Amino acid sequence: MKKVFVFCIGGTGIRVMKSITMLMASGMSTNGYTVVPVILDPHLDLEEKKNLHTLFGSYQDIYKKSTQGGGGSLNHLDGFFNSEIITINELNNQLNDTQQATGANERFRSYINEANIAAHDINKYFIQTLFSTKNLDSPLSVGFKGNPNVGTVVLGEMIEGADWFKAFKQHCEKGDRIFIISSIFGGTGASGYPLLEKKIRNADSQPAVKNALMGAVTVLPYYGLKDPSTTGSDIDSANFYTKTKAALAYYEKTVKSDYLYYAGETSLIQVYENDEKKQDDKAHFIELVAASALFDFLQREKPETQQFLTRAIEDAKNSLDLVSLGAGYKDIVKCVADYKLLSAFINTLPKETFFPLSKNRGFNECFYKDAAFLALQRFTKIYDSWYQELSTNKRAFAPLNTESLKNMEGWVKTISLDAKDDSYYLLKMIQASNANKEKDHNNKFRFFLQFAHEAINYYTKKILK
Amino acid sequence: MARIDLSIVDRGTSSTSWTKEDVALTADHLDKVMEQKTDNSGALNSLPTPFARFFVAKEAFRRATEEHKDANKEAGFTYRQMVSDILDVYELLFNLNYHRNNSWKNGEKLEIREWSMLENLTYIKKKMPILYNSVSEYYKSDIKEEKLYFLIFTEDGQEKLLACSSPITGFVTPPDMDKAVIRKDGRLHIKFTGSLYDSLHLRRKSGGEYFWDVKMFEDRDIDFKNYMFNHLFASDEVDERFKAIKEYIRSFDQNEDIKKDYQLKLADVKTDQNDSLVVNGLAIKSSDEIDIMSFFTDTMIRVPYRISRDNYVTIKYQNDSKERDYDFLLPFKPDVMSLFGGIDIDVNFHIKKMSVAVILKYNGKEYVKEYTNDNFISGQGKIVDLQKASISFDLGIFPNILSHKEQENNYFKILVVGADEDPEGPVFNIDEISLSFFKREGNEIIPIKERLPHEANFGVEPAVVRSRQKTDEEESGTKFYELFNTAFNFFEVKILNDTGLLIPKWQTSKATNETFTYAIDLGTSNTFISRCKNESDGKPDLSRKPELFKMERPMVNFMHEIPEDRQLSLTRRIEGSIFAKAKNKIKTEFIPAIIDGTDYKFPIRTALCGIHDRSKEPKLFDNHNIAFFYEKMMANDDQDVMTDIKWDKDEKRLRVFVRELLLIIKCDILQRDGDLDRTHLVWFSPLSFMGQTREIYQRIWNTEPTNILFIPTNQIRRFSESEAPYYYYKKMDYIADSDAVTVIDIGGGSTDFVYFKDNQPQMANSVHFGCDVLWENGFNDFANVKENGIYLRYADTLCFTRDDLETLNDSYKHVDAMKTKDIINFWLTNEKHCEITRYLSNDFKPVFIYHLTSILFYMASMYKENGLVAPKTIVFSGNGSKYIDRFISSEISALKNIIDLVFKKVFGGEHNVNIKLPEERKESTCYGGLYRDPNATTVCDVVYQGDKSKDYAKVGDINANFDTLKSVLLAKYKDLAALYKDVLNMLKQQSIIDSMLNTTKYVTAAEEDMGTPLSTYYKTQVKEKYADEVIFNDSVFFLPVINKIFNMTKI
């Protein structure tokens, strides 16, 4: 099993990982790599982080249920949920999560034991040069509030002493890959990426780690926050570009990833509520783009020199469709369109009385009430919300028309699919079922996902043309 | 279609798939990124290293460079602020000496403390292992320096970190010093991130506040710019890590202030370990130039009047107005004068609404300090408004002229006058004003220290307070400084704890061959000075009438400006424009600003003003001065006016009087570009001076002119008061027949007689019997007795038409020390305003006739007994003789008849004398002294006691022959009484005396016993006063006559 360790640093890392998960569910290929997500964020009470763990659980549940049968494990499917996700905890067979590694609600001043320095010791001035009073008085539980200089110290300690990092080093084997997701304009991500990279590259005793092919996506500013003076927040998005420029200048000579992907916006179109404790910002197109970097990375071989990658959109419209996105996004659009079609059938099929496969393949009422299908339903519900957020955010990723199942030619905007309504897809599912002669398992859930994908792909492969 | 990169900057990525770029996103790409305007500095720690700030500072300079090259590429507020703050650190160190000398007065200090990496990382490892884990790793890659330096500023006992050294930008400021723009009460304010710095107010030398306002390189001081450009960052050896800041500084190569050959004196900046401050090979320097700003004072004294532009170097106001009614002392420390040659300090003022900018120009540069009314911000000055402080202050320098011969500038007196104008609170004391004097020797400024004359070659004597303002109602306090054997170029005024400079504009005498002779007639009542220009041989120019002593220019430099007003004399404008509480003080305790011939003129009353406290040795101005004000106003309660100094035998007081006269003469000579040490001096003495008095005068006139005018004694001549007028009258052709001429010089204290025959003096005589006996109280020894009949007659009834005189008269009467003769002389001086002449002529004519008759009878008897014929011409001189034409008769015929009658009685036969009563009777002595040929025959002094039968030269001789003398004199008094009766009768017949006037009582009085008073007063006034061997130059003849006159006043 070849693995890709995906380090998700900070809030942006979490949100990008969510998009990765959605794309994996949609059928995006990891090129056979098992994804091992590692979340680094000191926000103990961050809802998004908890939700992501839940999402991983659902995904894994679905994946497992689709790959079990015949008394053992089956190969992964070609379509939906075709790649495995395994957490670092599971890999290490341990419960200790990255969440518990940081100093809880402790203030930074206390965390570094500043009180151990005598009042008139010159090292007080050394500390004052490095950190503001506000830095020193900030509790770690709410992150580094856009202060990478603080984050460097905290994350450095958090990584160095953490069981998960040891586990990572232990389980990272030759051929495995490393991918780091971070934002550059905040605190946690901006500090965590070069720090983590430094730690990995300095792992002299673990050559597999030290020499692993490494990719990273640096998420550049893509959203703004409301005026901090109205919320009392310490984060002022007016600084994002200023910070990014300073950080990029520093990165120029310090980061050494084999592939460095940049994703961001040249201007901040979306403005969120400024509440760092919640950070429940809606899914954003740039996160999706950043997520796509992982899949691109997993397709590439080790370069001779460090590579820097960016991508464009064809037309800088606020609501993007396939045309304005550009040809490069066809695979993403297809995946999302596929899953959204799956979502439609997950919702409609349980109510379809005369669907032949209910008898032939047992896609009956019991099937629809089975835990596997219910897990899929739950996941799909999250997926739908995710797409809903993407398609209504600024800028919007909205290449689909999903309102009606009776007029489905225009399911993907700007092109016309041959399936005029849902019956075309259901027919193709039946045909897929009929063509399938597998006898080695009787995993209805796997058949359901397999036939649905074959049916959908039949019509949507047109997108890739 | 508008393709756009999904990145921070659109680099024109060719594909919508992930596409390789040639290079990473670098700083160069970021130029295209337009930052949002941010008003806080939260972005300045955004790098994933604990040393983020060091790199952000570098980025700040890079962006500032871009902005400087292209204004469209804005660096943004936070970067500009960071660059400004770091430049502030450099500038602060560059001007460290200035700040230490000038800005930090209350214990503030800046220390540069060394931080050793090895030592301190070990310590941090032990105390803060978590921090160590991070810092130690990054320090090696990011900082690398073995030492860091912390700049610690201490104020109010609190230490504030201002900066840490950086191998990348030289310095970084701590993040707590970052600023945010906040909106409060509808306004934008700058606020430090760390509250510790809220109280940080460090004024830049060049204006504004360090670390508060943004000041980019182009806006900084020229010295600093050239230091950074031409010195610190000029070399190719500067470490590569300084690239960003170096490029920023070097991008100003076209700045107009940057000059290749700009010279700076620089010194190392020292750390607390006394090491030179060197950051990554960059040797940080401090300006070692003359710290011009340190010459500014912290406070600037404002006076509520304009300072005289004629007398002092005054401020040039860039925006002056006619309405300005205030001025400032120059707000500099004395050393500022070392920057300038002479007194040409180049300073301008610019008046603003709430402040005054003082602009000092030196070496083509301008140094500006702002003085404000209220808030005293570090680096700014404060205006100390004396008017608001209710303090009045002025001063005057005497003399205001310098001789071109330096050694002749040996005496200067400075009056300081100050008053508390606040009716509440403690009384401001004159002690709280002080002066310090300085002189220039080449380029060096020499402080003139306090010394006593016997201690040093030159100096200023300790200041002497003459008057104190004891209550708010009283007039000002006064204080005098005296400089000896040196002139001075400027002085520092200290009022309470504030100082300022005043630079006098001296008049200067030119070197010429002009010389002058001055004659000084120090009379009992009046003193007169006359001046005569000399020929090239040094002798008076006899072809010209002597000049009235009158100055064209003031001799005192008062501080206040003299207003223009054609209706008022210069004197009145000078005296009238000083503050109210000083008006009387400058008149009563100092010298007149000018002897203008109108308000102040000679003759003056021979009167000396002095303090009550007689324990202090009389010293000019410190406690005594000529009472020029006498009969015009009262001295204050602490002072007396002495009018008997001529005969008082008090050498010290007399010396003070003479000194002041000589100093006035010195000033006059210098104003006329005269050659001081070639001046000739003539003084006069009466024959009747007794031995000791004569010696006192001789000593004074031998020493004081030498001290003050630098003349040898052979340029000082003494003439007899008696003979001098003759030479003037002769020159004036008043003497028609020079066959036998006598001059009768009646003064206040003495009457002198000289007899000339064929223009040659035959004999001279002097008696201590002047006109003052008419106003005195006989021989009453009590000075405060007021029994003179004339005084008593008018004391309560005489009215003046001028209120000030009426008030003064009233005051005089109630001053115990005022003598009757002084009061009556006051009446006579102001006769125009009180009709005293008419009253005296009506009421006391017989007394005056008796006085005159006794003089004439005495004189005729003396001449006869000395073998001389009766004079054919009689000329009167002396102010005292004016009672003849004032109170007896202005008709010459009447006087001639009296004299003819007296001569008939004494010489027998008929006489027909020529009488001359010239107008210039006081002046004639001085004028005559000038005209007298120094080589002329010296007159023979004759002493006449009324009897020639014996030799009465010494007191012992008189004692031995007193009975004989008495019998002779009693016979003469009988003749005198008879003559007096005849004169009265004659004048009655001529209606000179009212025919209705009962003169019998005067005749009776004249006939009364003279023997007893003769014996009595001889004993008290001669025998008991003088030893036998004393030459008695006076005449006992007048002893009972004086008593008689006193009695007659009471008839």
Q: How many CB atoms lie within 10 A of CB B406?
A: 10
Could you tell me if A333 and A307 lie in one domain? no
Q: Do B55 and A249 touch (CB under 8 A)?
A: yes
Q: CA–CA separation, B783 vs B774, rounded Å?
A: 15
A359: confidence class by pLDDT, cuts 50, 70, 90 = confident
Domain, as residue range, for A90: 3-43+45-101+143-311
pLDDT of residue A95 exceeding 50: no
The B residues from 59 to 118 touching A (CB cutoff 8 Å) are 59, 62, 76, 78-79, 113, 115
Q: Do B53 and A252 touch (CB under 8 A)?
A: no
Taking CB atoms and an 8 Å cut-off, how many pairs form between chains A and B?
Answer: 290
What contacts B292, CB < 8 A, 6 or more positions away? B339, B360, B362, B365, B367
What is the amino acid identity at position B211?
A: F
Which of A157, A247, A313 is the closest to B3 by Cβ?
Answer: A313
Q: Do B25 and A130 touch (CB under 8 A)?
A: no
Could you tell me if A273 and A395 lie in one domain? no
Span B475-525, pLDDT tens digits: 899 999 999 999 999 999 999 889 999 999 999 999 999 999 999 999 888
Which of B45, B62, B130 is the closest to A157 by Cβ?
Answer: B130
- DSSP assignment string, B354-396: SEEEEEEEETTEEEEEEEESS---TT-EEEEETTTTTEEEEEE
Q: So what's the pLDDT on residue B276? A: 96
CA neighbor of B603 nearest in space, from B384, B835, B877, B820: B877
Could you tell me if A294 and A338 lie in one domain? no
Q: Is residue A244 part of a domain?
A: yes
B560: confidence class by pLDDT, cuts 50, 70, 90 = very high
Q: Do A132 and B174 touch (CB under 8 A)?
A: yes
Could you tell me if A408 and A297 lie in one domain? no
**Pairing label, strands B411-420, B444-448:** unpaired
To the nearest whole angstrom, how far is the Cα of A246 from the nearest Cα of chain B? 6
Q: So what's the pLDDT on residue B43? A: 52
CA neighbor of B818 nearest in space, from B678, B682, B627, B1029: B627
Could you tell me if A246 and A375 lie in one domain? no
To the nearest whole angstrom, how far is the Cα of A338 from the nearest Cα of chain B? 20
- DSSP assignment string, A213-245: EEEEEEEPP-EEE--HHHHT-S--GGGHHHHHH
Q: Is residue A135 part of a domain?
A: no
Q: Is residue A253 part of a domain?
A: yes
Could you give the angle at the alpha carbon of A14 between the alpha carbons of A13 and A16, nearest 5°?
Answer: 65
Q: Do B148 and A126 touch (CB under 8 A)?
A: yes
Closest residue on chain B to A299 (Cα): B18
Q: Is residue A117 part of a domain?
A: no
Interface test with A, best of B9, B25, B41, B55 (most A CBs within 10 A): B25
Span B830-867, pLDDT tens digits: 989 998 999 999 999 999 999 999 999 999 999 999 99
Could you tell me if A302 and A373 lie in one domain? no
Could you tell me if A354 and A275 lie in one domain? no
Could you give the angle at the alpha carbon of B945 between the alpha carbons of B739 and B912, nearest 5°?
Answer: 30
| B182 vs B86, more confident | B86
Could you tell me if A288 and A342 lie in one domain? no
Q: How many CB atoms lie within 10 A of CB B530?
A: 26
Q: Do B130 and A250 touch (CB under 8 A)?
A: no
Interface test with B, best of A135, A149, A150 (most B CBs within 10 A): A149
Span A397-445, pLDDT tens digits: 999 998 887 888 999 999 999 999 989 999 999 999 999 887 778 889 9
Q: Is residue A243 part of a domain?
A: yes
Could you tell me if A233 and A292 lie in one domain? yes
What would the two tokens of residue B987 be? 């004048």
Q: So what's the pLDDT on residue B96? A: 92
**ipTM of the complex, rounded to two decimals:** 0.89
- At which of A252, A280, A311 does a domain end? A311
* Chain A neighbors of B55, CB-CB under 8 A: 246, 249-250
Average pLDDT over residues B890-907: 93
Span B296-342, pLDDT tens digits: 998 999 999 999 999 999 889 998 888 899 999 999 999 888 888 77
| B104 vs A55, more confident | A55
B129 near A CB under 8 A: yes
Residue B302 phi, psi (nearest 5)? -105, 130
Q: So what's the pLDDT on residue B905? A: 93
Closest residue on chain A to B179 (Cα): A132
To the nearest whole angstrom, how far is the Cα of B452 from the nearest Cα of chain A? 54
pLDDT of residue A320 exceeding 90: yes
- At which of A311, A346, A381 does a domain end? A311
Q: Is residue A409 part of a domain?
A: yes
The A residues from 149 to 168 touching B (CB cutoff 8 Å) are 149-153, 156-157, 160
To the nearest whole angstrom, how far is the Cα of B93 from the nearest Cα of chain A? 19
A438 near B CB under 8 A: no
Span B144-198, pLDDT tens digits: 999 999 999 998 889 999 999 999 999 999 999 998 777 777 676 778 889 899 8
pLDDT of residue B696 exceeding 60: yes
B655 near A CB under 8 A: no
Radius of gyration of chain A (CA): 23
Tally of structural domains, chain A: 2
Q: Do B16 and A313 touch (CB under 8 A)?
A: yes
pLDDT of residue B816 exceeding 50: yes
Q: Do A239 and B42 touch (CB under 8 A)?
A: yes
Q: Taking the model in full, what pTM does it have?
A: 0.59
* Chain A neighbors of B130, CB-CB under 8 A: 111-113, 153, 157
Q: Do B128 and A195 touch (CB under 8 A)?
A: no
Q: So what's the pLDDT on residue B859? A: 96
To the nearest whole angstrom, how far is the Cα of B226 from the nearest Cα of chain A? 29
A270 near B CB under 8 A: no
A242 near B CB under 8 A: yes
Could you tell me if A302 and A336 lie in one domain? no
Q: Classify the phi-psi angles of B18: left when phi > 0, otherwise alpha if psi is within -120 to 50, otherwise beta.
A: beta
Q: CA–CA separation, A414 vs B726, rounded Å?
A: 140
To the nearest whole angstrom, how far is the Cα of A265 from the nearest Cα of chain B? 5
What contacts B864, CB < 8 A, 6 or more positions away? B870, B906, B907
Q: So what's the pLDDT on residue B39? A: 45
Q: Is residue A122 part of a domain?
A: no
* Chain A neighbors of B138, CB-CB under 8 A: 152
- DSSP assignment string, B605-663: E--EEEES-TTSPP-BTTTEEE-TTTTTS---TTEEEE--TTTS--HHHHHHHHHHHHH
A263 near B CB under 8 A: yes
Could you tell me if A59 and A195 lie in one domain? yes
Between the two ends of chain A, the Cα-to-Cα distance in Å is: 32
A217 near B CB under 8 A: no
Q: CA–CA separation, B170 vs B164, rounded Å?
A: 8
What would the two tokens of residue A176 be? 């495995």
Which of A43-52, A350-359, B187-196, B458-467 comes out lowest in average pLDDT? A43-52
B121 near A CB under 8 A: no
Could you tell me if A351 and A449 lie in one domain? yes
| B216 vs B41, more confident | B216
Q: Is residue A131 part of a domain?
A: no
